[in-house]
Structure 1
């Protein structure tokens, strides 16, 4: 990361911390005055505009602890965490890391000492005797910080004595790599890139007791990786963490290694408390076959790995819990043992107040009108039902219009001092690689024309530049969408935006993101050099689940599904948009907009039901019955 960006983050963290605990929200002027006073003390001499904007969007963050539904008949003491001495080495390091990244101290406190402690209490005390097994589910919001939450749980679990932690990170390589990078920064403290094993994140403090990871950002778990270490789990002084893909071969290789090296001929591993965090737990972990048929293979291997340990906990994380609730809680298989139904607890997370979520995009009339745009012209170009290899003759006008919006929005973000922040556009119109590549070709051609037009006209007087059709389109988009937008107390006129258009193309890349692509949408690489990447990501399934698209500003999705979980997970546009929420646009067909509204209401109802059932001392099993009987 560039020295400049590092200093910016230090000033931001100090600025946010300075107002923490203050009851009334500070004004923009108060934030600006405090920033001006702090920056020279911290050796920062750059522009404060963007730091002030980021602080302004971070300071109002509040976050309430979530609500838990537990099996009240189970012999489990949630207060075990208060009844013995538990160190705070890993949790303190992670909390310090988040504050250094500009997280508000009260939000960090809720994350670790609110939800983190609550979820740890719902797990088993790793020091407790005998054999035990617990199953739980944590329900978050799409793109709302689930990863930050489970990393807090991992840190606290390691402090409590869990020795072996497996994070199952979705079904795609790019998601596994992204998760490995975050675990490296927030827990391991060392880069797992074999060519650059440097201390990072929490590990920058030399006294940090670094956990061991047997996976790297480049390679998933395989038997060779483990054999190279040649060690058994108990040989390691510090906790061991693996970040693996939800893949049958990977899970099988892990099971074989654990059985051969660690069980040592015994039936099970008795002295290593283990925790499985299953990210996107509703995807590929669930036994979707009929009850009288063996479990699906992925599901079966996860259960077999859990079964190898006499002391094991499984926690699924999802934003779309509908499928998990349909698991048969009584299903049992002689090889794979008990199902993954969250029989012991379901914990529903709250989202911070600055979360840009389904309510804002679909349910609030005022914000919906500003954000949503309807696709009405795509069917004749890219029908919802098309085949692999379908020819693409041209792209719909609405997609080119969205592209114009993206270019203008990027120019405005640069004027706002966000030129070193990433800015992205998502295009999801087909699951087929061949079609995605054709879409990219058309987008590339249009970008070339716009780039040429901007280069020739961005410094020209308006009467001349207005004669160019591409410049006229960009101005029309500005007038219709963004002319009235205010930021940090000022409006930008078209002349300001036009003059900054050429800068949009400086670090502009177009990616096709899919499981067969060798292109990597690697924001971190650009961040290290202090560069804000301007990216268009064209893809299908890889874009639909888990992958965080940094700085996502314009989204265009024409896909056909009514599956609750698939639709919600496709909502990559949910998340946090400090300083540019007003520039975000989401393009969808009318049917999808109606389905999203429906699902947003259903999801909210689900969360409210958890609260009501908690008050009535009901269990996860009751919740499963409630969902199954729901009219929708």
Structure 2
């Protein structure tokens, strides 16, 4: 029996999809004439239908999709001033639809407004900025098809699809109008999260760009075949569609299907590829022709230059004219960032007959911080000419030779991209827009493995309130019981690797248990072991894993005993609290029947472990998530640490160190979407391991990087708000080149990016609450020494006007003896201290400028100092020399020598620091050090001041005791410790911030100013 209500609402909402909400009753009256006269189209009937609808009911889903779309879009005509995803926006939508109170309540209950953050956008304004709004509905085909695919085939929630719609529109609308007679090259950067669905976003962007008129889309799919192939398949499945892949071939004809790249793909056989119903060109639309396939990258001889030619229906008109553009096929290629491949593409483009200036081109650069950035050293460039690395040079050449090319980079680790010189017009700096995507719902990222911002004391944390306790298991290979690093490694591999394997088996059994209880099939179940980038070490590690696997006794009592213990101590308590409604067995006995099937599936064909790297000599099955169900343990390095999605990843064993934050974050393959097994995810990660001469904590490193990332995104959000006027309305636009995003470094041993990607990065700020800072690059010229000493004038005048005090350095851990030292002291305000610091002169001002930046920051996150205690230690040893500076009381002179680089190694005395640390709040006060306790105040810093001379003999020869010293012959040296503040006494190292140097804008805020 036909559903008349669904029928008429489908027709009505199809009309409203692009026009926006209109009076529903009027539409129903006009369009309802041809349906069953007995159909009840009243508000009461619709309200009743909504209130009784089950999940997935077609009418409810129809309305849910459209309401969510209207909730998300920016500045719609019916609610231009209402913020997206708010009750105000929804109320205005109801007004436009003409809903009464009953229907409003019914819809609000059935389709509540979700508070979903939109993307953060920093964008350049252009005169043609509204071009996309005018073309959205006229030629829409591939985007609606993709949108429907996500809803129906991938079962995405309506909110997620609406959010993707909004974010992808933000990108496409900032590209140039493909039909404009005047070409413009836009460059942008889209920042997502590691493994968070960036491919979905650029698939949406490609779909909308094709619909709008872009006819050549080039996707730079990483540097490895593994990632390029995965990206090609995703685009083929979700955008291109079956009919464009078949190109008219009959899928029922075996001969026609011979050699087709998806003939062995289970998803193709199961009908999971998008279908347009027929070739789009037969339906009045345009086809997309693939110039690359799943298995074949771009090859000149394979596809031929003619595949790049564009036919024009109106030969006398340019291709970009709408009369030609919307009647010609689009071209799609997914190519590796490989010198040989890109060289062929550039060469072929030069040969085609079609005028390159007429082709609207979109270049999507996946993992744009890898290979795309110029890593040549500017200091080595000849004759001032920019010299580029191979891939950067070829991408730049592509952009140069295609006058209508638009470049959009995608990355989760943007530091290398924002360090590109904005004035290099041929490089990939995102001069037009920078978009930060919101964290998607259901995503499991770095924050889900760390208790960042948790107000719960460590002793009170449990698997219920601590992300770390729920998901992270420490690998600690250091200890006194080991005689050598080799023994420590062997112990680590034996103990922790076995436990990780046991956890992997238990998690697999949990998945099968849930399948039996009605959960969807878990097609893939993987474990990743990542310890090294070296292929020889991968082989050795794989052998150790195979040995552990075969000796684990999973079919015997010993194996079951270990699994039972781990289930009771780990799986059961975590899953009981975090299973999200998925089945959890009451006891190990309920789970035990599923252990054997897991072991058989993983160990099938005698290969429980697969090595994933470039080693061609290993005999093993191919890793192919597309055509096979993969239940395996994976060992690898580079191939599994950048862009490539490890499907079904549940247990990770990670011990690889790197010194670059972006590289390290990309190794976090355990990030992603874990629907149905989030509670089973476990990360085994190195803690406090000795690597060479330093001790590193990988878990602590990821936490620091997570803070770096949050700080970067927070700054983008701040600049985005500054580009808005009152009530969130658009204000003066800020361009990415005008925005100096400070890239933070929260831990000393992990820099934001590799050194060869930071040639254009400038250190501008060092935040050091509760940490010692001792500048050493003091000036050497007499004039500069005099200026610096004169800057200390007010402090020197105040020293000696009060009581001389004696500070005490206490023994640590009952070792050593007490040390007492007398000192002249004074207290000055923070404003006075800034004036002193700002007047100092330096041989290398760039070394002190980042500290001064922090001290001068008056924001809540800045230096929280009200005043400072200045301590001038005085010596009474034989041979000590005292002198007066600018009329001060006699001060003990300190002799220090410069090193060959012209700077001092260290100036302050270690015995002088402890009292200053008490004053600044880094150490607790002690009754043994009464004067330090007397000076201690909240928000107070401490300074140790030393008049330094480089030769006491020379000074003594011409200086009477207590006489006046020439300010041009003394170094006014000092060390300081800003107030620690609550919880800021972190000894891991100072927080530093970098930003980009704009070589073409010396007066730009992007370039820090230094004291002269």
Residue 434 (structure 1) aligned with residue 532 (structure 2): no
Q: 1:403 to 1:454 in 2, by over 3 A?
A: closer
What is the alpha-carbon distance in structure 1 between the residues aligned to residue 124 and residue 229 of structure 2?
A: 35
Alpha-carbon shift at residue 454 of structure 1 (Å) = 3.0
Is contact 2:291-2:307 (8 Å) kept?
Answer: no
The 5 Å alignment of 1:170-569 reads 170-190=222-242, 194-196=260-262, 201-203=273-275, 205-208=277-280, 209-227=286-304, 230-234=307-311, 237-262=328-353, 269-291=356-378, 292=381, 293-331=386-424, 338-364=426-452, 366-377=466-477, 395-417=493-515, 420-450=522-552, 453-455=553-555, 457=556, 465=557, 468=558, 470-484=559-573, 485-486=575-576, 487=579, 488=581, 491-492=584-585, 493-508=587-602, 509-517=608-616, 520-526=622-628, 532-569=629-666
SS of residue in 2 equivalent to 1:524: coil
Q: Which runs of 5+ in 2 are unaligned?
A: 1-53, 68-111, 247-258, 281-285, 313-326, 455-465, 603-607, 688-696, 724-733, 744-761, 766-991, 994-1012
For this pair of structures, how many residues does the alignment match? 551
Residue 619 (structure 1) aligned with residue 619 (structure 2): no
Q: Which runs of 5+ in 1 are unaligned?
A: 1-10, 24-58, 333-337, 385-390, 458-464, 527-531
Is contact 2:554-2:599 (8 Å) kept?
Answer: no
- 2:35 is aligned to none
Alpha-carbon shift at residue 219 of structure 1 (Å) = 1.1
| Matching residue within 145, 148, 156 for 1:103 | 156
User: Residue deviations 1:199-227, cap 9 Å, x none?
Assistant: 86223522545411111111111111232
* Greater RCO (Cα-Cα under 8 Å, separation 6 or more): 1
What is the alpha-carbon distance in structure 2 between the residues aligned to residue 424 and residue 378 of structure 1?
A: 28
SS of residue in 1 equivalent to 2:477: coil
What is the alpha-carbon distance in structure 2 between the residues aligned to residue 170 and residue 381 of structure 1?
A: 43
Is contact 2:513-2:583 (8 Å) kept?
Answer: no
| Matching residue within 209, 220, 239 for 1:168 | 220
Alpha-carbon shift at residue 21 of structure 1 (Å) = 7.5
Q: 1:62 to 1:368 in 2, by over 3 A?
A: farther
SS of residue in 1 equivalent to 2:738: helix
Q: 1:354 to 1:394 in 2, by over 3 A?
A: closer
Comparing 497-506 with 540-549, greater Cα deviation is found at 497-506
Q: Tell me the TM-score normalised to structure 2 length.
A: 0.52
What is the alpha-carbon distance in structure 2 between the residues aligned to residue 598 and residue 429 of structure 1?
A: 20
Residue 581 (structure 1) aligned with residue 683 (structure 2): no
User: Residue deviations 1:221-243, cap 9 Å, x none?
Assistant: 11112327555144793210000
| Matching residue within 706, 720, 725 for 1:600 | 706
Alpha-carbon shift at residue 378 of structure 1 (Å) = 8.0
What is the alpha-carbon distance in structure 2 between the residues aligned to residue 598 and residue 381 of structure 1?
A: 31
Is contact 1:424-1:535 (8 Å) kept?
Answer: yes
- 1:6 is aligned to none
- 1:78 is aligned to 129
Alpha-carbon shift at residue 304 of structure 1 (Å) = 0.6
What is the alpha-carbon distance in structure 1 between the residues aligned to residue 612 and residue 211 of structure 2?
A: 38
Is contact 1:413-1:580 (8 Å) kept?
Answer: yes
- 2:747 is aligned to none
What is the alpha-carbon distance in structure 1 between the residues aligned to residue 366 and residue 611 of structure 2?
A: 24
Is contact 1:544-1:571 (8 Å) kept?
Answer: yes
Is contact 1:613-1:619 (8 Å) kept?
Answer: no
What is the alpha-carbon distance in structure 2 between the residues aligned to residue 564 and residue 219 of structure 1?
A: 33
Alpha-carbon shift at residue 434 of structure 1 (Å) = 1.5
Is contact 1:278-1:315 (8 Å) kept?
Answer: yes
Aligned-residue Cα RMSD (Å) equals 3.0
Q: Tell me the TM-score normalised to structure 1 length.
A: 0.81
Q: 1:507 to 1:573 in 2, by over 3 A?
A: same
SS of residue in 2 equivalent to 1:611: helix
Alpha-carbon shift at residue 181 of structure 1 (Å) = 0.4
Alpha-carbon shift at residue 61 of structure 1 (Å) = 8.7
What is the alpha-carbon distance in structure 2 between the residues aligned to residue 421 and residue 252 of structure 1?
A: 39
Is contact 1:189-1:200 (8 Å) kept?
Answer: no
User: Residue deviations 1:342-382, cap 9 Å, x none?
Assistant: 01100010122211111111244511221111111289899
SS of residue in 2 equivalent to 1:425: strand
Give the structure with the larger helix fraction.
Answer: 1
SS of residue in 2 equivalent to 1:537: strand
User: Residue deviations 1:563-587, cap 9 Å, x none?
Assistant: 1111110011111111211111111
User: Residue deviations 1:435-478, cap 9 Å, x none?
Assistant: 1112112212222233xx333x4xxxxxxx3xx2x322222221
What is the alpha-carbon distance in structure 2 between the residues aligned to residue 490 and residue 538 of structure 1?
A: 30
Q: 1:304 to 1:477 in 2, by over 3 A?
A: same
Alpha-carbon shift at residue 604 of structure 1 (Å) = 1.2
What is the alpha-carbon distance in structure 2 between the residues aligned to residue 301 and residue 625 of structure 1?
A: 27
What is the alpha-carbon distance in structure 2 between the residues aligned to residue 359 and residue 395 of structure 1?
A: 27
SS of residue in 2 equivalent to 1:504: helix
Alpha-carbon shift at residue 383 of structure 1 (Å) = 7.0
Q: 1:14 to 1:598 in 2, by over 3 A?
A: farther
SS of residue in 2 equivalent to 1:410: helix
Alpha-carbon shift at residue 167 of structure 1 (Å) = 0.4
Alpha-carbon shift at residue 60 of structure 1 (Å) = 11
Alpha-carbon shift at residue 624 of structure 1 (Å) = 4.0
- 1:38 is aligned to none
What is the alpha-carbon distance in structure 2 between the residues aligned to residue 585 and residue 63 of structure 1?
A: 28
Larger radius of gyration: 2
